[in-house]
Chain A
């Protein structure tokens, strides 16, 4: 009898990388449904473009690097990156925005560093930041939520806008776009208005954050909580990030409610929830020790609040995550847990 003699353990649990990644994909589905319902079919076009680009670039890079293409293509990591880019892009952006962004993320942020498991920065955020810096016009042309829009686009008209940049006859871009809540608030505050004035003057503000946006964030929150429940992510990063962001907002809001927005507004607008549950929890580029994750999350929350409030950009989750990515190895080194039977780490 030919017997194999590998070393123990001989059995393995049911988890695989593919299962982990697919759970993240499932957790994003409610948010995409909400996004599409509230902002129109442009969202679906973005998803298709980023997914196709991500999988093609992944396959190409794997082939060039001599890695088993099928094994890695089916691990689901490229899909997760694609979806995270898609959810961060304006739904009516020209087709080359998602394509260039995703290609850059997969090729330069992921495979140049060695592919799955080796990227020091979150690929989706690298590609988002690259796009924001390189194509600020296209990246800030956010469509208004459908309920606030004066005119609606059909699927055919949406496709025409995305792929050839043409709007239906007599329709202006201004008629379908609108500043995001964070952007609008920043502008109004910059003009010397108070928070309550700004909110009263603009129809974009909703109950929690912005009209439409708040429901996407609720869907993301639900997906994120499910990920914690399924043990895909731990509670440490989301709790630390949202608590820091909300806590800072609360302190400043109490000091001067007219100059600083409420904690609820900060949490339910922009990328805070997406960042807390789906971006900052990326295991590859984040801290791994439990204490480290708390510090990492708090850092993201802090930087986000600072840039949102005093910086030049309306939102800052992507920058905050990338900056904290750089600190992850150091955080891990200094937050080693106390080993069983030892006095201290």
Chain B
């Protein structure tokens, strides 16, 4: 039976360039001397280190634990010694540093104890999820969302379909393609485990029809089991979660809901293979397949790479870069980000290293004014009006941008790809989104400040009232005392002279002490300006982020005045 497929709106057909890296099998990348393992390789909270500098760790040993529900642990990809836990450049669009565990490998590849669960079918789903979570598995398709969470169906909402995503719609990337060709059985085994955890009724493996070898291999491996291999017509961005759900099931996932709400779950095929290794072999996520490709690299192929391996090491193993390299992109050409440094590590979400030259990246023309041709709207898979969003972003009319559903943009890049005026549309949307986020944060802060102010005012009023009451009481007491004193003085005057020197010396002392106190306070405040030292890491990060944002805005503003597209 041929499954009925549905269509998603928009999309593009860019040149795919996949064959360049699929001519040889996946090769094991060299074991590097040092591995740099960022504590934040996934969506959610950073992991917390479990080891200290100087500790010897074994391959597969957990070296950082998950911090909260949306988080994932980190494991040692090889045996060796922890030589540092410090900030290093990480692969992130911001180009900022983040905390990493630095491991010096000893070449022994000595494994920690493995705890496979081969009879997982008898296990409770929650136990399975815990094992997957403990293996540090996150979505390997690029987003890096902790997998165990996506294997946890909501009560009362049974999962109808598990879609295993082998679409790999972005040009150049071929790691999923090669994985399906070579490890179809692992992917299927993983898919079965996922099915069991989700109690899914059906399981579909979707593959774009430009990968006939992968389809063939998966079909061969799937004979006799009830997992369906479904070739889908090639179109970018079909691998987008909600797009793929629409293609396979015809269901449209509501904008503010997760797919699980409509009974569908999507996992990447690489994730499925990792789940198989974690459950049936007891091996946590310590390596992944990475495509190294692009015109700027001598040898284009796929590697099985230990997490933490530097991009540099991979490039060297591929015969080095040509001398006209312009950018090194982590991910694909449509959604990947350009690296600021080549020495960043491969992390769980790094599917591709794309080395481009000036020649194959040069845009066909300058940035021109928008001619409202609507090509962007035709290409948008989410039915947005990209050019309206562009005008609103440019004019900083963020409210109207939001009104036009800016936050439904998946940043697939179709609009910018087809724009005849070569306007960097997605860049404008990212700018608007960050501005809106920061405005919202500011608003929240302002509200908190207002609340604090109101509370303080109330407290001050209360204290004033209390003070007044106390003062009144005291005055009354004093009056009574004075009258008493007067009466006594009158008595003493009668008794003879008394010395007033005593009281004056005590007063003098008090004044001296107050001056000394004030001086000390002044000295202290001089030594330590209150708001710049002893900042927490989070505060420092916030400051640098703010600086980065400000820089971006300036850049954008400058770009706006230097490009040819100026409003009069």
Which of the 9-residue segments B133-141, B175-183, B215-223, B370-378 touches chain A? Answer: B370-378
What is the minimal beta-carbon distance from B478 to any residue of chain A, in angstroms? 73
Contact pick for B334, options A9, A15, A68, A234, CB 8 Å = A9
Which chain B residues numbered 392 to 422 have a C-beta less than 8 Å away from chain A?
404-405, 408, 411, 413, 416-422
Question: Is A154 in contact with chain B by the CB < 8 A criterion?
Answer: no
Contact pick for A284, options B341, B364, B372, B567, CB 8 Å = B372
Using CB atoms, name the residue of chain A closest to B172. A11
Find the residue from A11, A65, A71, A338 having the highest chain B CB count within 10 A: A11
Contact check, B385 vs A4: say whether CB atoms are below 8 A apart.
no
Which of the 9-residue segments A81-89, A99-107, A115-123, A163-171 touches chain B? Answer: A115-123
What is the minimal beta-carbon distance from A21 to any residue of chain B, in angstroms? 9
What size tier do the contact residues of chain A reach? 35 or more
Question: Is B196 in contact with chain A by the CB < 8 A criterion?
Answer: no
Contact pick for B371, options A11, A17, A114, A338, CB 8 Å = A17
What size tier do the contact residues of chain B reach? 35 or more
Which of the 9-residue segments B56-64, B298-306, B324-332 touches chain A? Answer: B324-332
With A72-B564, A283-B374 as given contacts, are A11 and B14 in contact (CB-CB < 8 Å)?
A: yes
Question: Is A19 in contact with chain B by the CB < 8 A criterion?
Answer: yes
What is the minimal beta-carbon distance from B334 to any residue of chain A, in angstroms? 5
Contact check, B568 vs A337: say whether CB atoms are below 8 A apart.
no
When chains A and B are docked, how far (Å) is the Cα of A16 from the Cα of B418? 9
Contact check, A338 vs B383: say whether CB atoms are below 8 A apart.
yes
Which chain A residues numbered 272 to 303 have a C-beta less than 8 Å away from chain B?
283-284, 286, 288-290
Question: Is B242 in contact with chain A by the CB < 8 A criterion?
Answer: yes
Using CB atoms, name the residue of chain B closest to A236. B374
Is the contact region of chain A dominated by helix, strand, or loop, or is it mixed? loop
Question: Is B338 in contact with chain A by the CB < 8 A criterion?
Answer: yes
**A-facing mask of B311-345, CB < 8 A → 1, else 0?**
00000000001000111110101111111111000
Question: Is B549 in contact with chain A by the CB < 8 A criterion?
Answer: no
Contact check, B416 vs A19: say whether CB atoms are below 8 A apart.
no
Find the residue from B255, B321, B373, B416 having the highest chain A CB count within 10 A: B373
Using CB atoms, name the residue of chain A closest to B566. A67
When chains A and B are docked, how far (Å) is the Cα of A17 from the Cα of B361? 18
Contact pick for B368, options A6, A8, A17, CB 8 Å = A17
Return chain B residues, CB-CB under 8 Å to A234. Answer: 374, 378
Contact pick for A7, options B375, B388, B424, CB 8 Å = B424
Return chain B residues, CB-CB under 8 Å to A14. Answer: 364
Question: Is B125 in contact with chain A by the CB < 8 A criterion?
Answer: no
Contact check, A5 vs B337: say whether CB atoms are below 8 A apart.
yes
Question: Is A200 in contact with chain B by the CB < 8 A criterion?
Answer: no
What is the minimal beta-carbon distance from A115 to any residue of chain B, in angstroms? 7
Contact check, B420 vs A15: say whether CB atoms are below 8 A apart.
yes
Which chain B residues numbered 8 to 23 have a C-beta less than 8 Å away from chain A?
9, 12, 14
Return chain A residues, CB-CB under 8 Å to B377. Answer: 288-290, 337
Return chain A residues, CB-CB under 8 Å to B568. Answer: 65, 113-115, 118
Contact check, A9 vs B416: say whether CB atoms are below 8 A apart.
yes
Contact pick for B373, options A1, A20, A336, CB 8 Å = A20
**B-facing mask of A1-45, CB < 8 A → 1, else 0?**
101111111111111111110000000000000000000000000
Contact pick for A283, options B326, B372, B418, CB 8 Å = B372
Contact check, B340 vs A5: say whether CB atoms are below 8 A apart.
yes
Contact check, B375 vs A15: say whether CB atoms are below 8 A apart.
yes
Using CB atoms, name the residue of chain A closest to B341. A3
When chains A and B are docked, how far (Å) is the Cα of A11 from the Cα of B93? 17
When chains A and B are docked, how far (Å) is the Cα of A1 from the Cα of B377? 38
Return chain B residues, CB-CB under 8 Å to A71. Answer: 366, 368, 564
Contact check, B368 vs A5: say whether CB atoms are below 8 A apart.
no
Question: Is B356 in contact with chain A by the CB < 8 A criterion?
Answer: yes
When chains A and B are docked, how far (Å) is the Cα of A8 from the Cα of B171? 13
With A12-B416, A341-B253 as given contacts, are A5 and B387 in contact (CB-CB < 8 Å)?
A: no
Return chain B residues, CB-CB under 8 Å to A17. Answer: 365, 368, 371, 420-421
Contact check, A339 vs B371: say whether CB atoms are below 8 A apart.
no
With A7-B424, A341-B253, A341-B254 as given contacts, are A12 and B363 in contact (CB-CB < 8 Å)?
A: yes
Find the residue from A3, A8, A67 having the highest chain B CB count within 10 A: A8
Contact check, A10 vs B371: say whether CB atoms are below 8 A apart.
no
Question: Is B382 in contact with chain A by the CB < 8 A criterion?
Answer: yes
Contact check, B369 vs A10: say whether CB atoms are below 8 A apart.
no
Find the residue from B171, B381, B419 having the highest chain A CB count within 10 A: B419
Question: Is A75 in contact with chain B by the CB < 8 A criterion?
Answer: yes
What is the minimal beta-carbon distance from A110 to any residue of chain B, in angstroms? 12
Return chain A residues, CB-CB under 8 Å to B333. Answer: 8-11
Return chain A residues, CB-CB under 8 Å to B424. Answer: 6-7
Return chain B residues, CB-CB under 8 Å to A77. Answer: 371
When chains A and B are docked, how far (Å) is the Cα of A340 from the Cα of B95? 32
Which chain A residues numbered 106 to 149 have a C-beta less than 8 Å away from chain B?
113-118
Question: Is B149 in contact with chain A by the CB < 8 A criterion?
Answer: no
Contact check, A288 vs B340: say whether CB atoms are below 8 A apart.
no
Contact check, B255 vs A339: say whether CB atoms are below 8 A apart.
yes
Contact pick for B365, options A7, A16, A332, A340, CB 8 Å = A16
Using CB atoms, name the residue of chain B closest to A281. B373
Return chain B residues, CB-CB under 8 Å to A341. Answer: 242, 252-257, 382, 408
When chains A and B are docked, how far (Å) is the Cα of A71 from the Cα of B387? 22
What is the minimal beta-carbon distance from A344 to any residue of chain B, in angstroms? 12
Question: Is B286 in contact with chain A by the CB < 8 A criterion?
Answer: no
A-B contact pairs, 16 of them (CB 8 A): A3-B326, A6-B427, A7-B338, A8-B413, A9-B426, A12-B416, A19-B420, A20-B371, A67-B564, A71-B368, A117-B565, A118-B568, A284-B372, A339-B255, A339-B384, A340-B242
New contact pairs (10) apart from A68-B366, A340-B242, A340-B382, CB-CB < 8 Å:
A3-B325, A4-B326, A5-B339, A11-B334, A17-B371, A71-B368, A114-B369, A118-B568, A283-B371, A341-B255
> Ordered nearest first, which 7 A-B pairs have the shortest CB separation?
A9-B413, A117-B369, A341-B255, A5-B338, A16-B365, A340-B382, A15-B420
